Amino acid sequence: MKHAQTHAVEIAYLMNGELVSVRRLSKRSEWRSALSAFSLVVGMSTATATLVAVALLIAHRVLFVPTYLGLWLLVTLGAATLAGHRAARRARSFNIGAAIDDDAFAAMPMRLVRREGTSYRLVLAPGFTGRLDGDRAGRPVEAFLRDADPASSRMVELPLEPGARVEVTAGTATFVIRNLPDAGPIPPAAPGAVRRFARRALLPLEMAALASIFCAVPVGAQIGEADMRSAIPRGSTPWEIEKALRSEAQTQARSLHQCFDVLPISCQHSGYVGVGVSLSREGEMRDHWIARSTYGADCPVEQCMSDVVSTWYFEPLPQSMRVILPVQVLRTDKPLPYGPARAAADLQRNAVRKQPAAAVN
């Protein structure tokens, strides 16, 4: 455990004898890469969530904050953790090949040096030349390749002991690898690696921005003083107030239809009722009753109508009033149980029965 915590591997990349780059592998650099990628994705997600919220507010949408914050928190933690894990995994190896993410160019893509467990390992491939210097006498790397098992595709992995120095040449590229104590400032991540892993988080952020639409509802119209003002002017006369109350009562008279649904077909006709109400200045109903009705004893609707009238509401008044409002009651919208011709005949038959005997003769 002490070996893995106190040592790092430094790889110098030379092309035709000229130094191109130097990179150091260590656990501290892995943590730095992971935290950098995590922080970058968190910053991207926070900025995106803010922009989406501002855009929705400009579009006159109201956000349901708990759901919105929960959505973005879940996406942010997931995307940032995944980016940090990928960045740490990339930071523990030195890759060569022709890809843009590789640390050095080579005809054969491979991980030249990688950390495995608590130790670093060097991978040798056919065609590599060089020398391994350690505590013991130096040895050519070709000797390790000759000793390799032919069934193992001629790849050889060598552990890099503390203090080891390896110089490997592959074509025009030379790699000088040293196992040194991990001291000094924290080595930076591979150039562009953190940004590349952070860019992969754009897809979940875009999906979260699209899902944010379902966390918003249209903004309702604001209620101003004009909306709160009564429709009945303060200086209205009692007759003008009564006419306004009649209009409000007639508008709500459709709710009286429910009183006829349980009655015989003979009661399914229009008529008039006098609705008595006692109203406060705030429009609250203090008392209500049915003063008169064109429906006889065969159509007992007064009690039902009284119960329905109790649910009515009126505009605030300049003064409290007690008044009887005539209301026309239309037939219910419920379809008749049988055809309209038979319904008309029933109504006519009932009307004849109710006529006085003298009129019939």
Whether 201 and 318 share a structural domain: no
pLDDT at 186 over 80: no
Per-residue pLDDT tens over the stretch 286-305 = 888 888 888 887 888 888 88
Considering only CA atoms, give the Rg of the chain.
44
Greater model confidence, 50 or 171: 50
DSSP string, 36-105: HHHHHHHHHHHHHHHHHHHHHHHTTEEE-HHHHHHHHHHHHHHHHHHHHHHHHHHHTEEEESSSTT-SB-
Per-residue pLDDT tens over the stretch 254-288 = 888 778 777 777 777 788 888 888 888 888 888 88
Residues 88-115 have a mean pLDDT of 87
Whether 212 and 235 share a structural domain: no
Whether 178 and 248 share a structural domain: no
Residue ranges making up the domain that contains 315: 231-360
Q: What is the pTM of this model?
A: 0.56
Least confident range of 21-30, 223-232, 248-257, 322-331: 223-232
* 63 inside domain: yes
Compute the Cα dihedral for 346, 352, 355, 356 and give only its sign: negative
Whether 275 and 311 share a structural domain: yes
* 224 inside domain: no
* 197 inside domain: yes
Whether 235 and 148 share a structural domain: no
* 222 inside domain: no
Task: Single out the residue in 216, 249, 273 at which a domain terminates.
Answer: 216
Task: Single out the residue in 181, 216, 251 at which a domain terminates.
Answer: 216
Task: Single out the residue in 148, 183, 216 at which a domain terminates.
Answer: 216
* 226 inside domain: no
pLDDT at 161 over 90: no
Count up the domains in the chain and report the number: 2
The pLDDT score that the predictor gives to residue 12 is 92
* 72 inside domain: yes
* 225 inside domain: no
